[in-house]
Amino acid sequence: MTLRILRPGALATVQDLGRPGLQHLAIVPGGAMDPAAHRIANALVGNRAQAATLEIGLSGPELVFDEPLLVALHGARFEATLDGAAFPAARPVLVRAGARLRIARARLGCFGYLAVAGGIAVPPVLGSRATYLPGAFGGLNGRPVGAGAVLPIAPDAPALAAARFARVSARQGGAVEVGAGSARSVRWFAPAPSLPDADPPVARVVDGVHLALFTEAARAAFLAERWRVGPDSNRMGYRLLGPKLELARPAEIVSQATCLGTVQVPPSGQPIVLMADHQTTGGYPKIAEVIDADVPRFAQLGPGAQVRFARVALADADAARERWNGRLARLIERIRWELGNEDG
């Protein structure tokens, strides 16, 4: 069972929740840039959270389904069509064999996730199917998914699709036709909590370990200015454009462990927010750390998007993480109920 890629997008890779616990061996966690959207996409087709999805950045591919499959597209809001008809995103969709899905540019957000019931079945590497581009391993041969690529899916995917969609459509009192018989779906949809909800969005940060090394003007500017995501941003880090952040005096920084959300400032004075494929250690001074609850929203900022930072205490960051995790858990539980998938 396969998905065939007819035309590549800007950046499409196979991702799951990554490889946590191996950073001391110089293996970064990696995984989905927006793990919340990845989890919701999997929930919409009845998968467990760790199942591999196709992560789509900025604009997506065109692909064809060789078998009838249950799929869901969640996260960034893309212009997407199925056999020329509008594709219903953020909900389970049972597509017929031979249907073509075209995912164009993102209208809101940056990263979306195409989940398939049963998951994408590329071989796991170090316990994960996630693509790590800098190391060229995981996913589909360690590379972005290009034209002509064939993505393996679970051999029982058609059977899972039929059974799971039968349950959800029965709960809804029937299905909704998509296009000229290309697919069937449901009337409800799952919200995308990580999409930007303000202009500009605000990312909360706690103080970085080297904050005191920066000038008072730099510390003030970091919080006061609107920063713009640079065009050379990628899965390793988002480069921000704005005023130059200067150190009070030259300093030698011993390389230290980094983590998702670390805000480093290289000699250029333009901060870099480390993302899913960040390096394991770094020697640039750390001015701040984006809190866990705001990393998924930060990941949805495409090149040119603006963002501001707000300083919070560590206790506030912990409380925000608990609220975020609770909100996500309740949403996924609701989706599982709709699918009749109470143990999924």
Instruction: Name the pLDDT band for 198 (thresholds 50, 70, 90).
Output: confident
Within-domain flag for 61: yes
What average pLDDT does this structure show over 144-169? 93
Boundary residue ending a domain (192, 215, 232): 192
Question: Are 208 and 164 in a shared domain?
Answer: no
DSSP state of 125: B
Q: Cα Rg for the chain, rounded, in angstroms? A: 21
Question: Are 252 and 284 in a shared domain?
Answer: yes
Q: Rounded CA gap, 130 and 335, in Å?
A: 24
Question: Are 128 and 253 in a shared domain?
Answer: no
pLDDT tens column, 223-254: 999 999 999 999 999 999 999 999 999 888 88
- Cα torsion for 231, 234, 236, 240, to the nearest 10°? 30
Q: Please tell me the predicted confidence (pLDDT) of residue 344.
A: 45
Question: Are 208 and 179 in a shared domain?
Answer: no
pLDDT tens column, 154-166: 999 999 999 999 9
Question: Are 185 and 251 in a shared domain?
Answer: no
CATH number at residue 307: 2.40.100.10
What average pLDDT does this structure show over 2-10? 91
> Which of 140, 11, 154 has the alpha carbon at shortest distance from 71?
154
Contact 111, 33 (CB under 8 A): yes
Question: Are 28 and 99 in a shared domain?
Answer: yes
Boundary residue ending a domain (165, 192, 219): 192
pLDDT tens column, 280-307: 998 999 999 999 999 999 999 999 999 9
Question: Are 183 and 287 in a shared domain?
Answer: no
Q: Please tell me the predicted confidence (pLDDT) of residue 343.
A: 45
Q: Which residue has the tokens 């789509």?
A: 56
What average pLDDT does this structure show over 125-146? 95
Residue 272, pLDDT > 90, answer yes
Q: Please tell me the predicted confidence (pLDDT) of residue 11.
A: 95
Domain boundaries, position 92: 2-192
SS (H, E, C) 310-342: EECCHHHHHHHHHHHHHHHHHHHHHHHHHCCCC
Residue 107, pLDDT > 90, answer yes
* Arithmetic mean of pLDDT over the chain: 94
Q: Please tell me the predicted confidence (pLDDT) of residue 24.
A: 87
pLDDT tens column, 327-343: 999 999 999 998 887 44
Question: Helix or strand or coil: residue 267?
Answer: coil
Q: Please tell me the predicted confidence (pLDDT) of residue 199.
A: 85
Number of folded domains that form the chain: 2
Residues 6+ apart with CB under 8 A from 60: 9, 10, 12, 78, 80, 102, 103, 104, 112, 114
